[in-house]
Structure 1
Amino acid sequence: MTFTPRLNHLFRILLKNTEPVSVSELAALLNTSKRTLFRDMENVDSQLHAYNLKINAKSGVGIRLEGSEQDRDRLAQALLSEEEPEPMDKESRRKRLILEILKNQSVQKLYYYSNLFKVSEGTISNDMDVIADWFRKNDLDLSRRQGYGVALEGTEEAYRRALSQFIYENISREEYWEASVGPDGKPAEEIDVYPLLDAKIFNQVISALKTIPSKKLERFTESSRFRLVIYLSIAVERIIRQKTISMEPDAIRKLKATEDYALADTVADMLEDSFRFKICDEERAYICIHIKSAKQKYIDKDPDDDFYIDHYELIRMIYRMIDRFDPEQAQELKTDEVLLSGLIVHLDPTLIRLKHNMAIQNNMLEQIRTMYPDIFEKSKNAAQVIWESYGFAVPDAEIGYLATHFGAAVIRMKERKLQRKIVTIGVVCASGIGISYLMSSRIKNTFKSDVLIKTYAQEDLAEGSPPDMDILVSSFPLKDVPYSYLLVSPLPTDEDLEKIREEINRCAYVEAGQFPPETKSGGSSGQMHKTWDMAESIQSVLSQFEISYTDENIKFAELVNQASQRFGNSDANRRLIFNDLLAREKISSQVVFDYQFALLHAKTGGVSKPVFAVILPSRPPFCSEYLQNAVLAVVMLIPKGSDGKENSQMMGKLSSALIEDEDFLNALKSGNRDLSYTKIQEILEGYFTQKIKELYL
């Protein structure tokens, strides 16, 4: 006899308990209501009759399965012969129902879905009433006619959009990226929505896209790259099934006149070569739309776009949105250059998405609604301007992103009215990396938004006027420095932090109007050079990253020599690295006892590109008394030269993460190169994104 999934679970629970189980507890375990539980149990005795068992339910006591041990064993064996059902509440069942309807290319009777989910046709019919709204939002009609069955009706464009939307709503992009990296990733067949997306096609699209050299693709945010790969994978599968998409010739002609169409052509040609089929102009036009709608780290406007708003028209619309967001504070908000530039960058691709009814995922939406309901509602009012101006309805996911821009501006506005300024703390290190960044992390985590941390190498502290900072902190005595500083431990103690707090309070309060204006220096050419240099340095760190092993009994000087031999490309450079590492160590020890790692770092002329690497003892920990039971040594080298400060900041981000990100440190300790590489890439991508914002916004 086959039982419904819920009864299967109910019997398993009762078989494990010889005493009565309360109705409340059973309902909670089955993830259902008491009423539904009683309804499921109406005819349960007839189903248990074959096993000489029956249900004994007593009000105020609970439910118990009665019968001999032999008969209970027979039921247990029968349940074991069935595949253990996956617990499924109505929300999960409805999500699965949407999935099954999207999968089916043919009409199906209600009985088909009723049998599939082991529930009544009445329950499935009620589910259909609920999920019909989801399909309507995606411009599809869930058609149900008596004697005919259930089918989806709508355009091919709407169907593809619904497929994409379901994937965005129900799976994180990390799972698909993991599925595409190879045998160590999660098999794509195990991903929940695999039936909607062929894993082989998905992986092939990723591989093919990597062959396209495009600055614009490189500027895509991670979520936009994911969206493009998902759309292309769906498009390829539909083309293979000979499902065509349509577009008005005039719209195609306008898109062909834009710069992005050339990139869409390149992508389409790549897909043709990879999958051995032809891609028509309509498909190429839709690829172009997806490229235009992608969120980017920064953007270049193209006046030939099919939907182009010139700079001044966009600013006027943004001013109207600010007026609608908060009429009383609008005038002050309009002076916030960060808000204006942020909305300009954000709204360009947003308007293209809205024009073409393309959904976007916002994983922070519920959190924004819950934590900042007032900001969200005001942002909804501001979004109404877009509807009034262009007739584009703005979904909640997009409003959530607008709320982050407006919310940050409101916070900045409140801070400007305070009489307390942010105190700049300079943290000094002999080389400008390493311990200074570990100190920075401890200080920043303690004082948070009250302070701005800047790191300095000793050579930055030239005689004369002090750098632009309020407090100077060092972990070692400074020579020939003509101004005061605080001497603290490499990882500041509570006593050290209290001394810093006193200095912060002394410097923080100033008279109104004394806050220095924020300025940005350097032209676009300089910014481009900095961007290129950063990207090149990050690529160098990633390409040279390695994990090596050494004898656990190695002495400190031998460990330094091993690092020098590995990363110096000549005898002269190896000597430079060795001497610079030892010179840095003489200033203060870089063994961080609390976190079990040694930090071998220096600015040196022995390398031309920054280096980040790990040396592990074959049998941890290191036995040398000097290394204090460290379980890994981290090697960080930056070249001397004009880019020293930028490289110091980048490498400092990694050294900060050793303290702030436990997963990163554990990955390095594990010796798993792929996991460590992924974490380094994640940290450096975050650093790169932040620096781009500083340069361009």
Structure 2
Amino acid sequence: MTFTPRLNHLFRILLKNTEPVSVSELAALLNTSKRTLFRDMENVNSQLRGFNLKINAKAGVGIRLEGSEQDRDRLAQALLSEDEPEPMDKESRRKRLILEILKNQDVQKLYYYSNLFKVSEGTISNDMDAIADWFRENDLELSRRQGYGVALEGTEEAYRRALSQFIYENISREEHWEAPAGPDRKPADEIDISPLLDAKIFNQVISALKTIPSKKLERFTESSWFMFVIYLSIAAERIIRQKTISMEPDVTAKLKATEDYVLADTVADMLENSFRFKICDEERAYICIHIKSAKQKYIDKNPDDDFYINHYELIRMIYRMIDRFDPELAQELKMDEVLLSGLITHLDPTLIRLKHNMVIQNNMLEQIRTMYPDIFEKSKNAAQVIRESYGFTVPDAEIGYLATHFGAAVIRMKERKLRRKVVTIGVVCASGIGISYLMSSRIKNTFKADVLVKTFAQEDLAEGPPLDIDILVSSFPIKDVPYSYLLVSPLPTDEDLEKIREEINRCAYVETGLLLPETKSGGPSYLHKTWDMAESIQSVLSQFEITYTEENIEFTELVKQASQRFGDSDVNRRLIFNDFLAREKISSQVVVSYQFALLHAKTDGVSKPVFSVILPTHPPFRSEYLQGAVLAVVMLIPKNSDGKENSQMMGKLSSALIEDEDFLNALKSGDRDVSYKKTQEILEGYFAQKIKELYL
């Protein structure tokens, strides 16, 4: 059997590895995207059937070739009968051609490239025509003169920008972010950053940057930090080659007068000390521009900035952008404080990037275009306001980020017009006992206060009065009943629970006013509930903290530390400790796939609910019991009359650990301010929802 060149390469790689290989690593080795790799593998098992082999792909783990040693040897022999191919379809060849042209410092004939890629000069010439626009978009000209060869023409600034752009488009952050240790704990000088970057320089820049104490650098988003490291690595390598950048003197002088230039000076001095070369004022000014243009978690505006717009002017421009986005929704969108604050934070560095023609990576761009074409087109209209106001052309990558802000606001606006109801789920089994109760428990524990679960025997489904349920779930096929149902495993898997979740979301939201009005009585009791909820939330926030402990700590000692921290007497500490262990005996709460341990219990040891985080000094926890967790989340609920309300509140936080990636990442980071703000946001959302349930 003859395989495609890329599958041939793929099988050779997997045959050399007995352990799973990550998708990112495979894509890099095959010089292709993850999406293309998955497309190539769609029918791969049918092609391997003749060898008694199969591909096993697990999310978060990687891809492994499974089969006996004898069958693996048969495949290896079959592959040896073919020349080892280069995975050179047209798309990948043109990407490699761009890379080679960027990497090459000398003029080269077409023959050089045709020989390199083992195709005709005519094919390479067509490829050159196709990639010329890419270079032109980055202000470089692909010069091709007969008898002379192929060379790039343009400024040093444009060349560096093109290098950055190519890296952003084709290099996955996840593959190269483990510096200086590197993926799989390889030494730094063994990390294959890309053919365009020296791995030692890349890691040397990261190590040196970590020595700079700067609040501004700490506020960089992860993507901006990565881009900054890439730019400094490119700059360092070009300076070593004695290729320096130029800038108009008045622009340099204006940047030198800003506060960010002080930080740029510090970074430049750090690079000088690390690499033993001198950095001129123009290079320092470009470092300053990259600092100004970086996306930040939050920002402080400064009138001395290179491109400063006062708050009033920025709000006026944002209002015009909202008007252009959708005139019919504009009035309501202008009342969305989350949208306004998000755009204010986003647009400050965006305008600086646009002024200096700086590229930005948006890995979600194609997904946004495909899934939300209407939002993307409306955001493109909104971006025209920026062009009309300042003359800056807004590229699609930036429009994609605007679309995320506007799209989220539209969703929030729709949700405000909806009300969520508790969804009733019917669980059925042959007898109505046993398995159905295990299924019910799994569903209740997963969806908590969002659902009401009822159990039924099969005979309950016969013709008669309709069941008062929204969703029916069964562990076996049901015949001759007038209901549609979801078929799941007796102990529902994660995939089963996701199907149930989708159905819950479909049933849960109805337009305000469509639910039967509830009888509201005892006004003071609702006020009392409101006050108690607010007090509980305030108690959680006031006690919230992030503490650290040794990574080698055993589970029992970790529980003891948590008990000591939140018990205000020896008696209460013992109560908390015993209740923690009693809960753990029921089932372990170490959630391996999300790397956290959940220490929670109802206890008489506290009078108010508690939510807190314990992190290992050097993650992860080493205890075998904690299974590689990188944080422990502590949740305590007092045993009192408000137990149900407190359980629902804590349930909201525990579900957010799974469903809100930003929340979990904030807690893992150890950043107390960011974690507190995220916790507050979740609890305020819970409070708002409960108020709606009480009073609407």
| 2:551 matched residue in structure 1 | 546
| 2:358 matched residue in structure 1 | 358
| 1:293 matched residue in structure 2 | 293
Shift of 1:682: 9.5
Say whether the 8 Å CA contact 2:365–2:397 is kept in structure 1. yes
Secondary structure in 1 matching 2:283? helix
Shift of 1:327: 2.3
1:206/1:590 Cα in 2 relative to 1: closer, same or farther (>3 Å)?
same
| 2:419 matched residue in structure 1 | 421
| 1:690 matched residue in structure 2 | 678
Q: Percent identical across equivalent pairs?
A: 66
Say whether the 8 Å CA contact 1:581–1:600 is kept in structure 2. no
In 1, Cα distance between the equivalents of 2:184 and 2:126?
42
1:208/1:503 Cα in 2 relative to 1: closer, same or farther (>3 Å)?
closer
Secondary structure in 2 matching 1:253? helix
1:335/1:685 Cα in 2 relative to 1: closer, same or farther (>3 Å)?
closer
Task: Tell whether 2:578 aligns with 1:582.
Answer: yes
In 1, Cα distance between the equivalents of 2:398 and 2:629?
45
Secondary structure in 1 matching 2:151? strand
In 1, Cα distance between the equivalents of 2:5 and 2:253?
56
Shift of 1:328: 2.7
Write the deviation string for residues 522-564 of structure 1: whole angstroms up to 9, x where unpaired: xxxxxxxx99997xx44x3xx42625569xxxxxxxx5x6853
In 2, Cα distance between the equivalents of 1:376 and 1:330?
16
Shift of 1:508: 8.8
Q: Counterparts in 2 of 1:593-632, with a 5 A limit?
A: 600-601=599-600, 610-611=613-614
Q: TM-score, normalized by length of structure 2?
A: 0.62
Shift of 1:421: 3.0
1:244/1:546 Cα in 2 relative to 1: closer, same or farther (>3 Å)?
same
In 2, Cα distance between the equivalents of 1:633 and 1:399?
36
Q: Give the one of 562, 586, 590 matched to 1:591.
A: 586
- Higher RCO, 1 vs 2 (CA within 8 Å, ≥6 residues apart): 1
Secondary structure in 2 matching 1:142? strand
Say whether the 8 Å CA contact 1:321–1:382 is kept in structure 2. yes
Secondary structure in 2 matching 1:302? coil
Say whether the 8 Å CA contact 1:175–1:186 is kept in structure 2. no
Secondary structure in 2 matching 1:144? strand
Write the deviation string for residues 170-196 of structure 1: whole angstroms up to 9, x where unpaired: 012121112433473467677665221
1:385/1:229 Cα in 2 relative to 1: closer, same or farther (>3 Å)?
same
| 1:564 matched residue in structure 2 | 560
1:8/1:169 Cα in 2 relative to 1: closer, same or farther (>3 Å)?
closer
Say whether the 8 Å CA contact 2:140–2:152 is kept in structure 1. yes
Q: TM-score, normalized by length of structure 1?
A: 0.62
Say whether the 8 Å CA contact 1:590–1:600 is kept in structure 2. no
In 2, Cα distance between the equivalents of 1:100 and 1:209?
30
1:680/1:694 Cα in 2 relative to 1: closer, same or farther (>3 Å)?
closer
Mark the runs of 5 or more structure 1 residues left unpaired by the alignment: 14-27, 33-75, 426-437, 448-490, 517-529, 551-558, 622-629, 641-647, 665-675
Shift of 1:615: 8.3
| 1:401 matched residue in structure 2 | 401
Shift of 1:683: 11
Q: Which amino acid aligns with 1:279?
A: I
| 2:17 matched residue in structure 1 | none
Count of aligned pairs between the two proteins: 518
Q: Which amino acid aligns with 2:447?
A: R
Say whether the 8 Å CA contact 1:361–1:397 is kept in structure 2. yes
Task: Identify which range, 607-616 or 113-122, moves more after superposition.
Answer: 607-616
Say whether the 8 Å CA contact 2:292–2:349 is kept in structure 1. yes
Say whether the 8 Å CA contact 2:156–2:245 is kept in structure 1. yes
Say whether the 8 Å CA contact 1:220–1:295 is kept in structure 2. yes
Say whether the 8 Å CA contact 2:600–2:636 is kept in structure 1. no
1:85/1:186 Cα in 2 relative to 1: closer, same or farther (>3 Å)?
farther
In 2, Cα distance between the equivalents of 1:87 and 1:307?
46
Shift of 1:446: 6.7
Over alpha carbons, which structure has the higher Rg? 1
Task: Tell whether 2:241 aligns with 1:241.
Answer: yes
| 1:226 matched residue in structure 2 | 226
In 2, Cα distance between the equivalents of 1:368 and 1:175?
23
| 2:71 matched residue in structure 1 | none
Q: Which amino acid aligns with 2:448?
A: I
In 1, Cα distance between the equivalents of 2:132 and 2:382?
30
| 1:443 matched residue in structure 2 | 448
In 2, Cα distance between the equivalents of 1:695 and 1:296?
24
In 2, Cα distance between the equivalents of 1:508 and 1:262?
60
| 2:255 matched residue in structure 1 | 255
Mark the runs of 5 or more structure 2 residues left unpaired by the alignment: 13-35, 41-75, 424-442, 453-492, 521-525, 527-539, 638-646, 686-696
Say whether the 8 Å CA contact 2:252–2:281 is kept in structure 1. yes
Q: Which amino acid aligns with 1:404?
A: T
Say whether the 8 Å CA contact 2:444–2:451 is kept in structure 1. no
In 1, Cα distance between the equivalents of 2:380 and 2:505?
43
Q: Which amino acid aligns with 1:250?
A: D
In 1, Cα distance between the equivalents of 2:271 and 2:158?
22
